[in-house]
Structure 1
Amino acid sequence: MAPKVLISDKLSDAAVQIFRDRGIDVDFMPDLGKDKDRLAELIGQYDGLAIRSATKVTPTILDAATRLKVIGRAGIGVDNVDKEAASKKGVIVMNTPFGNMITTAEHAIAMMFAVARQIPEASASTHAGKWEKSKFMGVELTAKTLGVIGAGNIGGIVCDRARGLKMKVIAYDPFLSEEKAAKMGVEKVELDDLLKRADFITLHVPLTDTTRNILSRENLEKTKKGVRIINCARGGLVDEQALAEMLKSGHVAGAAFDVFAEEPATENPLFGLPNVVCTPHLGAATTEAQENVALQVAEQMSNYLLDGAVENALNMPSMTAEEAKVMGPWVALAGHLGSFVGQMTDEPIKAINILYDGVVADMNLDALNCAVIAGIMKKVNPDVNMVSAPVIAKERGIKISTTNQDKSGAFEGYIKVTVVTDKRERSIAGTCFSDGKPRFIQIKGINIDAEVGAHMLYTTNEDIPGIIGTLGGTMGRHGVNIANFTLGRAAAGGEAIALLYLDAEPAEDVLEELEKTGMFQQIKPLEFEVA
């Protein structure tokens, strides 16, 4: 059955057509996002939800979204999506961070010009028939110091444009290296230094616990007298009340804001103040940007629903379509390894240690980690997936560690998973052969070669004669066909294991009969999700 996508906000016809051209069933209801009750009523029919900012994806909506796999936001901000609730539900949340970068950066530059030359007020005055030439004395941008808070994608474009305007650019960004700053032609500084030196300050960071009120009253008081402040990033980065007071006192000469702490902003401390330019969140509002993000989100959602590619996800490691094709068998293997140790472990897990060897060590390990954790967690929550599993593991206080190493054995690559509890450690390793089929190659340090099947039986015993006959005879008497039979032992006469791939799940009376023989230390039926 083809995946089904709901578009509940206004997207371009070209974006809708992308879904259809990819063979995805799409319902385009551009006003549905405004009706939360109707959205909750319909969302259970869909595998994907494409939105802009009007649709609010709340826990209530997610509870009703029984089929939902992915939410795609055409734009950068996802404040209208409860990402934590989506992650717990196992729903990927994607955005389109690159479709409107230039548009937003250009708006910041335009706002800087506007506040430097008091263009909106001068325009209103002239429209009113006044000719107040001497009233609107501006300042040049040339040779002024621009302080950029956040030199990422959009901030980097602003830096480039500002240098073209012959401004001196200084940047505060904890993730900006000295080498990158030099390449960009900007000076990397600490925040206090930026506040003290900048003639203009522009913000280009997301709203997080770290950046909230980054321009607090305290920090605003550190700024250079006559500074002008531009915010086209996110509301909540600046203490608006404190800024309003400093504008009135003259310490801050001007401000230009496209975003506000409360939106839609019908009231705000900045409104009505002289030399304050305000626009209604227009940073991404160009024809080109709106089209770009719509097309991008349609492609990303289609790639995920059809090929498993994860691009620009906020709650799961990204994996390109090319990576998905190469890594598909390894992702499946990672899930099987996790599932094995998860089904075998009854006591609480304290830690999960994952070793990647050889070719797999150069792959997208974050995605593989998610697959391992999901496999382990399925025992406690059958609905868990690669998105929700790390959330559940974190809530349970499970420590995850990863090691990668060069090829060290007979296989081109392998994955080894070890879970640690208060009582024991349990490990299993596996590889993928050239046919793409996952194989278990080691359990408890004992080498084996076992194909993975939907129904399997794992036993441990002493290495004594009769084990094969007992297992085969018991299955035969109960009509359970054995598709594959794998044995392994630590040493002659020592600990041994058997792993049977069965055509059907063994009934309880089969397990009871094996138990009564007294030949087995452990008898464990296992189930795996195989394609």
Structure 2
Amino acid sequence: MPKVLISDKMDPRAAQIFRERGLEVDEITGKTPQELRAIIGTYDGLAIRSSTKVTPDLLEAATNLKVVGRAGIGVDNVDIPAASAKGVVVMNTPFGNSITTAEHAIALMFALARQLPEADASTQAGKWEKNRFMGVELTSKVLGLIGAGNIGSIVADRARGLKMRVIAFDPFLTPERAVEIGVEKVSLDDLLSRADFITLHTPLTDQTRNILSRENLAKTKKGVRIINCARGGLIDEAALKELLDSGHVAGAALDVFQTEPATDSPLFGTPGFISTPHLGASTTEAQVNVAIQVAEQMADYLTTGGVTNALNMPSLSAEEAPKLKPYMALAEKLGSLVGQLAHGAITSVAVEAEGAAAELNLKPITSAVLAGFLRVHSDTVNMVNAPFLARERGLDVREIRHEREGDYHTLVRVTVGTRDGERSVAGTLVGNEAPRLVELFGIKVEADLAGPMLYVVNEDRPGFIGRLGTLLGEANVNIGTFHLGRRQAGGEAIVLLSVDEPVTPDLLARVKALPDVRTAMGLNF
């Protein structure tokens, strides 16, 4: 009988579901890391919330562990690479608290509009400052959503019920999906200049980090009010305080902070500022939902092998897994590459297979492409929920098989459609095992996609490679591999280098300043 440990406080329904499904379960909470390490070795499953830290040290002691289930979205407390190396599946419940988080954002918007916390404190202090607290109506105001996925679309629905006009910035939001959820799709600059209220509903990634930077905050409409119930790190908190002090920003409400627990934020005490201690998912209903979901998912895996919302494992049968595993690794890398390099709104994703790849089940391969592609913008995507997220955003996803024989015995091509046209990348397997890039935006180039990389598009001129190598040497950047490709002599050329450390903004600026460079980017795989 599989045995599960619930190590964080969780709704009792979770333990009940485990028992109903024939699993043995212990609820032992509040243990120190050392105490948990001493008992973890007998358990097949570990159900957690945010308190338990699943570290390499804990995993080393978890000799029987097969699955970790996080009741909630964030898995910052789980070392996923270490779990993968140990063969432990990591699951979360990304949709169990969507309504709760959306409602908290709406609550904070009301609180800002009517200055409720300040008015409450003043009144309970024995004052009656009716004229001091002149609020604003939400009706007819423009609400700007940064992120229009699951939670953002719920906020849009509630806001439209309040007769607000809703505009949204989201690279994955198609015109059709925008019509469906009743919002106007706009650029980020347009949103900043028009919105009376701005609310953020995007994960924290390299692309969204500091999205409300000092520069972008300065572009906002005077008197704007800002709400963040998504992730800390999306807003420059120091710049936000300055704009609150100056009156340019009329109010701000944060449920999340760059550093948590937030005990000494410079925003505390600033007039017009409201804060809550990461309460977005803190309702009775949400806690019940995530507890039920994580128990059901873990029980499925431990009793039948079914996989749902796994962050490090695709949905596969035992027969398909060995053959598809290298293809999914290739597909995820291709999806990640095109996701990092493609610019503008993406409206479609096509996955083409030829040669040996055309004979396989394309669903897991397509899911791997979407996971790699969407993971650039979302920290909760996986191979299981990627197709759902793609449909939610209105992406047109196609699978195409070719019977033709090409230059490679097996080939997978990923093509994305944008308003500027289509862009594609293609890869193969070396020895039926190792993923290899063979084409990038129409340019033949053979490269391994691994670790941090530097991507440069340049004019094919004599001496460029030498200048680039000299610059990297002077910057103390060690080159792992060096790959070149070009359309024709003297035309557009591509350089792909693997480097030992992530590419810094300063290094990118220096590379872009080189003669003949069209663009340069840092990539991560």
- TM more than 0.5: yes
Once residues 245 and 148 of structure 1 are traced to their aligned partners in structure 2, the CA distance between those partners, rounded to angstroms, is: 23
AA matched with 1:73: R
Q: Normalising by the residue count of structure 1, what TM-score does the alignment of the two structures yield? A: 0.63
Per the TM alignment, residue 336 of structure 1 is displaced from its structure 2 partner at its CA by 12
Contact 2:228 2:254 in 1 (8 A): yes
**1:24 corresponds to:** 23
1:368–1:146 CA distance, 2 compared to 1 (3 A) = closer
**2:3 corresponds to:** 4
**2:159 corresponds to:** 162
C-alpha distance after superposition, 1:84-134 (max 9, x if no partner):
322333322211111111111000000000011000110111111111000
Partner secondary structure for residue 132 of structure 2:
coil
Structure-to-structure mapping, 1:479-518, within 5 angstroms? none
C-alpha distance after superposition, 1:7-62 (max 9, x if no partner):
11011111101111111222211222xx1111222222222211111111222222
**2:430 corresponds to:** 420
Q: Is the aligned partner of 1:184 residue 2:184?
A: no
**1:250 corresponds to:** 247
**1:313 corresponds to:** 310
Contact 2:14 2:291 in 1 (8 A): yes
1:143 to 130, 140, 144: 140
AA matched with 1:330: E
**1:364 corresponds to:** 364
Once residues 188 and 368 of structure 1 are traced to their aligned partners in structure 2, the CA distance between those partners, rounded to angstroms, is: 28
1:419–1:253 CA distance, 2 compared to 1 (3 A) = closer
Once residues 151 and 71 of structure 1 are traced to their aligned partners in structure 2, the CA distance between those partners, rounded to angstroms, is: 29
Where does structure 1 lack aligned partners over 5 or more consecutive residues? 339-351, 370-385, 388-402, 409-414, 428-531
**1:92 corresponds to:** 89
Per the TM alignment, residue 247 of structure 1 is displaced from its structure 2 partner at its CA by 0.5
Once residues 294 and 16 of structure 1 are traced to their aligned partners in structure 2, the CA distance between those partners, rounded to angstroms, is: 9
1:166–1:90 CA distance, 2 compared to 1 (3 A) = same
AA matched with 2:120: S
Per the TM alignment, residue 63 of structure 1 is displaced from its structure 2 partner at its CA by 2.6
Once residues 258 and 13 of structure 2 are traced to their aligned partners in structure 1, the CA distance between those partners, rounded to angstroms, is: 33
Contact 1:145 1:169 in 2 (8 A): yes
Q: What RMSD, in angstroms, separates the aligned Cα atoms of the two structures? A: 3.1
Partner secondary structure for residue 189 of structure 2:
helix
Once residues 100 and 206 of structure 1 are traced to their aligned partners in structure 2, the CA distance between those partners, rounded to angstroms, is: 15
AA matched with 1:144: K
Per the TM alignment, residue 354 of structure 1 is displaced from its structure 2 partner at its CA by 8.0
**2:68 corresponds to:** 71
Per the TM alignment, residue 172 of structure 1 is displaced from its structure 2 partner at its CA by 0.7
Q: Identity over the aligned pairs, expressed in percent?
A: 65
**1:504 corresponds to:** none
Partner secondary structure for residue 329 of structure 1:
coil
AA matched with 2:76: D
AA matched with 1:173: D
C-alpha distance after superposition, 1:226-282 (max 9, x if no partner):
110000111111111111111011111000111111111111111111121111111
Per the TM alignment, residue 70 of structure 1 is displaced from its structure 2 partner at its CA by 1.6
Q: Normalising by the residue count of structure 2, what TM-score does the alignment of the two structures yield? A: 0.64
AA matched with 2:112: V
1:329 to 307, 313, 319: 319
Contact 1:361 1:406 in 2 (8 A): no
**2:36 corresponds to:** 39
1:333–1:252 CA distance, 2 compared to 1 (3 A) = closer
Q: Is the aligned partner of 1:221 residue 2:222?
A: no
Once residues 123 and 256 of structure 1 are traced to their aligned partners in structure 2, the CA distance between those partners, rounded to angstroms, is: 16
Where does structure 2 lack aligned partners over 5 or more consecutive residues? 329-352, 370-381, 384-398, 405-410, 413-427, 435-525
Q: Is the aligned partner of 1:52 residue 2:49?
A: yes
Per the TM alignment, residue 149 of structure 1 is displaced from its structure 2 partner at its CA by 0.5
2:59 to 58, 62, 80: 62
Once residues 209 and 333 of structure 1 are traced to their aligned partners in structure 2, the CA distance between those partners, rounded to angstroms, is: 33
Contact 1:334 1:368 in 2 (8 A): no
Contact 2:252 2:273 in 1 (8 A): yes
Once residues 308 and 41 of structure 1 are traced to their aligned partners in structure 2, the CA distance between those partners, rounded to angstroms, is: 27
Contact 2:355 2:402 in 1 (8 A): no
1:193–1:43 CA distance, 2 compared to 1 (3 A) = same
Contact 2:201 2:230 in 1 (8 A): yes
Contact 1:316 1:367 in 2 (8 A): no
Once residues 158 and 266 of structure 1 are traced to their aligned partners in structure 2, the CA distance between those partners, rounded to angstroms, is: 28
Once residues 246 and 365 of structure 1 are traced to their aligned partners in structure 2, the CA distance between those partners, rounded to angstroms, is: 47
Per the TM alignment, residue 333 of structure 1 is displaced from its structure 2 partner at its CA by 6.0
1:3–1:111 CA distance, 2 compared to 1 (3 A) = same
C-alpha distance after superposition, 1:452-491 (max 9, x if no partner):
xxxxxxxxxxxxxxxxxxxxxxxxxxxxxxxxxxxxxxxx
2:127 to 124, 127, 130: 130
Contact 1:357 1:406 in 2 (8 A): yes
**2:267 corresponds to:** 270
1:133–1:97 CA distance, 2 compared to 1 (3 A) = same
Aligned residue pair count: 364
Q: Which has the larger radius of gyration?
A: 1
Contact 2:106 2:155 in 1 (8 A): yes
Once residues 225 and 155 of structure 1 are traced to their aligned partners in structure 2, the CA distance between those partners, rounded to angstroms, is: 24
Partner secondary structure for residue 40 of structure 1:
helix
Per the TM alignment, residue 420 of structure 1 is displaced from its structure 2 partner at its CA by 2.3
Structure-to-structure mapping, 1:285-324, within 5 angstroms? 285-317=282-314, 319=315
Contact 1:11 1:30 in 2 (8 A): no
Moved more, 74-83 or 170-179: 74-83
Q: Is the aligned partner of 1:284 residue 2:274?
A: no
1:305–1:128 CA distance, 2 compared to 1 (3 A) = same
**2:378 corresponds to:** none
**1:405 corresponds to:** 401
Per the TM alignment, residue 211 of structure 1 is displaced from its structure 2 partner at its CA by 1.3
Once residues 407 and 364 of structure 1 are traced to their aligned partners in structure 2, the CA distance between those partners, rounded to angstroms, is: 20
Contact 2:193 2:220 in 1 (8 A): yes
Once residues 404 and 28 of structure 1 are traced to their aligned partners in structure 2, the CA distance between those partners, rounded to angstroms, is: 49
1:354–1:265 CA distance, 2 compared to 1 (3 A) = farther
**2:462 corresponds to:** none
1:406–1:21 CA distance, 2 compared to 1 (3 A) = farther
Partner secondary structure for residue 85 of structure 2:
helix
AA matched with 1:48: G
Once residues 249 and 336 of structure 1 are traced to their aligned partners in structure 2, the CA distance between those partners, rounded to angstroms, is: 56
AA matched with 2:4: V
Per the TM alignment, residue 195 of structure 1 is displaced from its structure 2 partner at its CA by 0.9
